[in-house]
């Protein structure tokens, strides 16, 4: 009769079995997107949604991805949520998003001047959703500064007021600066008590893509199931920050509350003259 496993041996065996299962899932996702063309932003917050698909994805900025979708150069793109709201030619993959409930960290306005004294704000040209979100948040306070494109990411001599998204926002946050930080996720939650959805999978309408939708959902499930592995394997910033970022600041669910957040954003876009917007069409 074999001796019973020790707790240490059992833990090692469970870990080996989990690693084997993860490798099988990753292998199953390899080459799974063909013949579809899929694009995403290459940023820390998108890593869990492209888990296992990394070598198959076309990476570009949010603005460039939107342009490629409009030209039918992509069949799906992880794009700014405003792209399917402002263009009635996409479906949105239900259940999957990049969102926050409160402070987001990676979408921010860095400002030296008080908000009510700002005359101009330099905005990350890669952004589509966030510049409109900032516009809405300021307009709700009766503030309408001039928005200008940020010429570069030279944080050695940044302008007085600049809006940043994604990894450049985090780079700025972790660097030395004298700016105050206006976190757009926190400001949105304070205004609405709702989550904000930054990005969704936009799918070209009229394309038979049931298998593609399945693979994108599987990639998300794989990413969330192995989130601890992602946190430990990545090297950006600090381990504690990655734990907080993925554990508290960013979430990847698109449910009823997130859809209410989208609907409220649509109302405010139209209220402040940034429409027309189209009712999103969700597909599972």
* Residues pairing with 201 in the sheet: 78
Domain membership flag for residue 147: yes
* The predicted structure's pLDDT at residue 188: 98
Same domain for 149 and 82, yes or no, is no
Q: Residue 161 in contact with residue 121, Cβ under 8 Å?
A: yes
Residues 218 and 279: beta-carbon distance below 8 Å: no
Neighbours of 107 (CB within 10 A): 28
Domain region containing 164: 107-192
What does the pLDDT read at residue 31?
64
- Indicate whether 91 and 204 sit together in one domain: yes
Q: Token pair for residue 221?
A: 């499930």
d(CA 62, CA 69): 11
pLDDT of residue 127: 84
Instruction: Determine the length of the chain.
Output: 284
Give the chain's domain count: 2
40 and 166 in one domain?
no
CA dihedral 133, 136, 137, 140 (to 10 degrees): -170
Please indicate, yes or no, whether residues 186 and 230 belong to a single structural domain of this protein: no
Assess whether pLDDT exceeds 70 at residue 14: no
Answer yes or no: is pLDDT of 22 > 80.
no
Q: Looking at 192, 224, 243, which one is the last position of a domain?
A: 192
Q: Residues 224, 227, 233, 236: is their CA dihedral positive or negative?
A: positive
pLDDT score for 20: 52
Which of these, 69, 105, 106, lies nearest to 204 by C-alpha position?
69
Name 34's Cβ contacts closer than 8 Å, sequence gap at least 6: 56
Point out the domain boundary residue: 192, 213, 233: 192
Residue 116 within any structural domain of the chain: yes
Among 161, 192, 223, where does a domain finish?
Answer: 192
Give the model confidence (pLDDT) of 123-175 as tens digits.
998 888 999 999 999 999 999 999 999 999 989 899 999 999 999 999 999 99
**Residue 39 and residue 84 share a domain:** yes
CATH of the domain at 157: 3.40.190.10
Position 125 scores a pLDDT of 85
Contact partners, residue 135, CB within 8 Å, separation at least 6? 147, 272, 274
Residues 161 and 145 placed together within one structural domain of the fold: yes
Residue 208 lies in a domain: yes
Same domain (yes/no): 78, 207: yes
Task: Tell me whether residue 277 is in a domain.
Answer: no
With respect to residue 53, please indicate whether it lies within any of the assigned structural domains: yes
Q: Do 161 and 213 sit in the same domain of this protein?
A: no
Q: Is the pLDDT confidence value at 19 over 70?
A: no
In a domain, 205, yes or no: yes
Global confidence as pTM = 0.89
Looking at the structure, tell me whether residues 169 and 238 fall in a common domain. Answer: no
* Same-domain check for residues 188 and 232: no
Judge whether 221 and 49 are in contact, CB under 8 Å. Answer: no
Q: Is the domain of 250 the same as that of 117?
A: no
Q: By percentage, how much of the chain surpasses pLDDT 90? A: 82
Is 54 among the domain residues?
Answer: yes
**What does the pLDDT average to over 255-259?**
98
For residue 66, being part of any structural domain is answered with: yes
pLDDT digits (tens, 9 = 90+) for 40-91: 998 999 999 999 999 999 999 888 999 999 999 999 999 999 999 999 999 9
Same domain, 113 and 182: yes
């Amino acid at each position: 009769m074999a001796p019973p496993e020790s707790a240490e041996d059992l833990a090692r065996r469970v870990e080996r079995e989990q690693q084997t299962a993860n490798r099988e899932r990753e292998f199953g996702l390899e080459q799974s997107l063909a013949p579809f063309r899929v694009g995403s932003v290459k940023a820390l917050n998108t890593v869990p949604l492209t888990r296992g698909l990394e070598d198959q994805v076309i990476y570009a900025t949010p603005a460039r991805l939107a342009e490629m979708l409009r030209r039918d150069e992509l069949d799906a793109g992880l794009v700014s949520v405003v792209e399917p709201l402002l263009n009635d030619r996409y479906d949105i993959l239900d259940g999957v998003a990049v969102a926050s409930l409160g402070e987001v960290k990676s979408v921010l306005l860095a400002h030296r001047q008080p908000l009510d004294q700002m005359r101009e704000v330099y905005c990350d040209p890669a952004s589509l959703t966030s510049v409109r979100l900032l516009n809405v948040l300021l307009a709700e306070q009766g503030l309408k500064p001039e928005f200008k494109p940020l010429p570069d990411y030279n944080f050695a001599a940044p302008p007085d007021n600049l809006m940043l998204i994604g990894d450049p926002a985090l780079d700025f946050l972790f660097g030395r600066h004298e700016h105050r930080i206006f976190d757009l996720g926190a400001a949105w939650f304070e205004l609405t008590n709702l989550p904000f959805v930054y990005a969704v999978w936009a799918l070209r309408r009229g394309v038979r893509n049931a298998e593609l939708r399945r693979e994108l959902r599987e990639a998300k499930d794989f990413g969330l199931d192995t989130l601890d592995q992602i946190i430990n394997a990545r090297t950006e910033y600090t381990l504690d920050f990655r734990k907080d970022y993925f554990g508290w600041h960013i979430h990847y669910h698109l449910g009823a509350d997130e859809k209410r957040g989208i609907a409220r954003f649509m109302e405010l876009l139209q209220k402040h003259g940034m429409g027309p917007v189209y009712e999103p069409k969700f597909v599972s």
